[in-house]
Amino acid sequence: MSSFRDLGLSEPLLRSLDEMGFEEPTPVQAQAIPLLLQGRDVVAQALTGTGKTAAFGVPLVERIDIRRTSPQAVVMAPTRELAVQVAGQLSGIGRHRGLLLVPIYGGQPIDRQLRALRRGVHAIVATPGRLMDHMRRGTVDLSRVATLVLDEADLMLDMGFLEDIEYIMSHLPSERLTALFSATMPEPILALARSYMHEPEILRLSRPRALTVPETNQIYYQVPFRRKLDALCRVLDVKQPERALVFCATKRTVDDVVESLQGQGYMVEGLHGDMSQPVRERVLRALRSGQAEVLVATDVAARGLDIPEVTHVVNFDIPPDAEYYVHRIGRTSRLGRKGEAITFVNPWEMREIRVIERITGARIQRQEVPSMAEAEDREAQLLEERLAETLSAGRWGRFRAMVEGMLVDHDPVDVAAAALSMVAARPARAKPQPATLTGQATPIEQAAPTRKARPTRKASPTRKASPEGKRRRRAV
């Protein structure tokens, strides 16, 4: 399945998906959406972050009769955080169809939920406890529910919601579509499917075809979503990769990350499905020639890439499934080289990284995001290496007389330290572009971003600005 259009979706849904940055169906979407659109019950094993919300959300929205403002679909989630997240994505998917949706969960004033239910809604996203509360109050009418989704079903069972789920399912119309999504497939999940679903299609999507290679050091950082970009900058500053691949879930995220990194002076290019083949080729030439050191891409765009010099792979968004994880990190440690794979994990995705570990047999170690002090130490180390290289090469003869003159009034160590501080504080400059025979820039030179001097960043509550203005890696 190469595009959402191949699934036969309506134009309003296709427009919403495009605006949300979805590029093509992930494995769980490609398999689940057609079945659910056909009215088949589905049990799907899929990790958080694999696009499973769209896997059930797209058919859910497509099946809604917008003319009737009574609950036609119910999505149950184990926590209020997940309920809010799912409700937000479903609202985006149904934006151009006019979907009316209400999240129902504990900790929120019930009056707000009552007002929304009285006005009329097409779908409800709820935690089991609060939904049961409304059912017992008689404030929600579930008599016309045609679609039921259990999201993170195994987690709901682990949290002791089995009786609540059975109570809710027993009060829904027997003629309905039921979808169950779970990161793991324990026996209680299968028993629930046998009891309350009609000949469900079971999809197991976490079966990698290959294992990870031992030459790749695999680590993860627990990073809240709003801190991902800061974490990526720290990684690039401390690791100083020769070539790095950064994987994002959507083309919109790719564009946002590229724009932010370029604004801070990183030599970065982006790659996603909206780019033409000539642009794609120019971007890859920039990476291979050293005019770019970081490539930010979606999984779709990164297919078939062969760049042996990649030293680091960063999963900015958790991979769609274990197979994608293996595929992504396989872009480093090529031809016997050492490499490192780094995955950013939101706090609620911790269980998913363990599932990837179990399925792939890999050991993914948790580490802390590098600190600003580590970044500055690394900058100093690189400066020292450049100094040693310059001394060995003898590229300093014309400055010797100047230094000898200054030693009359100054300590030798002070003179050397002052010279280094000038080099360290010097604004970064772009690498000089090679001239062509006609004096015009080549297509790749036009495509490559001009490296800017990195601005001094403002101090945040968790990070102080360094005296040198928090420099990033300079192109020298």
Q: For the chain (length 476 residues), average pLDDT per consecutive 10?
A: 84 93 87 95 78 92 94 92 89 95 89 93 95 94 95 85 91 93 82 89 69 76 92 90 91 94 92 83 85 89 69 91 79 72 90 83 87 69 67 69 75 72 50 32 31 37 37 35
- Asked whether residue 178 falls in the same domain as residue 321, the answer is no
Q: Name residues whose C-beta falls within 8 Å of residue 113's C-beta, 6 or more positions apart in sequence.
A: 102, 104, 130, 134
∠ Cα 71 48 160 (to 5°)? 65
Give the per-residue pLDDT at 450.
Answer: 34
Number of domains in the chain: 2
Give the per-residue pLDDT at 362.
Answer: 80
CA distance 398 to 297: 46
Report helix, strand or coil for 35.
helix
Among 370, 396, 419, the domain-final residue is: 370
- Asked whether residue 307 falls in the same domain as residue 229, the answer is yes
Domain at 241, CATH number: 3.40.50.300
Range of the domain at 355: 216-370
Give the per-residue pLDDT at 221.
Answer: 95
Assess if residue 445 is contained within a domain. no
Report helix, strand or coil for 79.
coil
Give the per-residue pLDDT at 79.
Answer: 84
Crossing angle between the packed helical segments 128-137 and 162-170, to the nearest 10 degrees: 40
Give the helix/strand (H/E) hosting 53: helix 52-63
CA distance 43 to 190: 8
CA distance 350 to 364: 12
pTM: predicted TM-score of the whole model, two decimal places: 0.57
Phi, psi (degrees; rounded to nearest 5) at 308:
-60, -25
Amino acid residing at 361: G
Assess if residue 185 is contained within a domain. yes
Instruction: Give the residue among 6, 81, 94 at the shortest CA–CA distance from 54.
Output: 94
CA distance 83 to 304: 37
Assess if residue 25 is contained within a domain. yes
Among 326, 346, 370, the domain-final residue is: 370
